[in-house]
């Protein structure tokens, strides 16, 4: 009878781990969907009131970086407590508010609403493809992390420089690079959850949200540059 114990324990352990991974993935998807609501509200408030229109150049950069990194720090500090979800949703509201300036500019085009919906649809498509790939790829993708981090850092530095330079070509190059890097980051972050490398759904949601918002705003910037129609 004892000889059956070793064969039962690994099966039970594997099943328990798989159940835990599925729970993290399910909670992440629910929280990610919920996080879009404050984002939309923040963007709507920013467009309706014009509260972010004065955040130009260096001032806007300081407010954005200070607010974003402050929220990210707070999320990591509270991710294991009941305060974690409200802090994350507060961050997504802030990001919507910061995004409202670009959205207001795009809405200034005759086909602005269509461009926004196209960017949203494109982002959803990228997420669907990466989610599908994460469930079928068997290879360990953990080695991608350091290269993607370097790419994201280079994009951030380039974006900061371009705030002061104001180059349209620079914005195009940064947007194209951001779509590539953060789409790959999306796959990397989803694969980490699937493989059990990320066990906290708040941290997982934060990572995926940052991937999604970067792909969306980069797509929107490119659509505005190439497809914006003036009245």
pLDDT of residue 231: 66
Which residues neighbour 164 within 8 Å (Cβ) at sequence distance 6 or greater?
57, 58
Helix orientation angle between 168-194 and 112-136, rounded to the nearest 10 degrees: 40
Q: What is the pLDDT of residues 2-37, one digit of tens each?
A: 433 343 334 444 567 777 788 888 999 999 999 999
Burial of residue 115 (number of CB atoms within 10 Å: 0-12, 13-18, 19+): buried
pLDDT of residue 178: 94
Q: Please give the tally of structural domains in the chain.
A: 1
Tell whether the model's pLDDT for residue 1 goes beyond 90.
no
Confirm if 189 and 208 have CB atoms less than 8 A apart: yes
Name the residue among 221, 220, 98 with its Cα closest to residue 169.
221
CA distance 50 to 154: 30
Question: Taking the CA atoms of the chain, what radius of gyration do you get in angstroms?
Answer: 20
- Average pLDDT over every residue of 131-141: 88
CA distances from 145 to 8, 31, 153, 182, 218 (A): 35, 23, 12, 11, 21
Of 18 and 83, the one with more pLDDT: 83
- Average pLDDT over every residue of 90-99: 95
CA distances from 52 to 28, 44, 181 (A): 30, 11, 27
- Of all residues in the chain, the percent with pLDDT exceeding 70 is 92
Burial of residue 186 (number of CB atoms within 10 Å: 0-12, 13-18, 19+): buried
Query: Is 0.95 surpassed by the pTM of this model?
Result: no
Residue 53 is part of which domain span? 2-227
- Average pLDDT over every residue of 43-71: 86
């Amino acid at each position: 009878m004892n000889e059956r114990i070793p064969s039962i324990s690994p099966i039970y352990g594997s099943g328990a781990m798989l159940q835990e991974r599925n729970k993290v993935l399910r909670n992440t998807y629910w929280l990610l969907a919920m996080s879009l609501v404050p984002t939309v509200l923040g963007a709507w408030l920013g467009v309706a009131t014009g509260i972010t229109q004065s955040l130009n150049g260096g001032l806007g950069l300081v407010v954005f970086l200070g607010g974003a990194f402050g929220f990210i720090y707070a999320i990591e500090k509270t991710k294991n407590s009941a305060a974690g979800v409200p802090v994350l949703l507060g961050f997504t509201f802030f990001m919507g508010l910061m995004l409202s300036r670009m959205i207001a500019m795009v809405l200034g085009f005759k086909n602005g609403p269509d461009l926004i919906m196209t960017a949203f649809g494109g982002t959803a498509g990228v997420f669907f493809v990466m989610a599908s790939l994460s469930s079928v790829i068997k290879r360990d993708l953990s080695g991608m992390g350091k290269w993607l981090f370097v790419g994201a850092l280079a994009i951030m530095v380039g974006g900061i420089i371009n705030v002061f330079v104001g180059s349209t070509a620079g914005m195009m190059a940064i947007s194209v690079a951001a779509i590539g890097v953060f789409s790959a980051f999306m796959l990397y972050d989803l694969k980490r959850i699937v493989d059990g490398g990320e066990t906290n759904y708040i941290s997982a949601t934060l990572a995926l949200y940052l991937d999604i918002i970067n792909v969306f705003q980069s797509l929107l910037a490119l659509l505005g540059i190439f497809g914006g129609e003036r009245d």
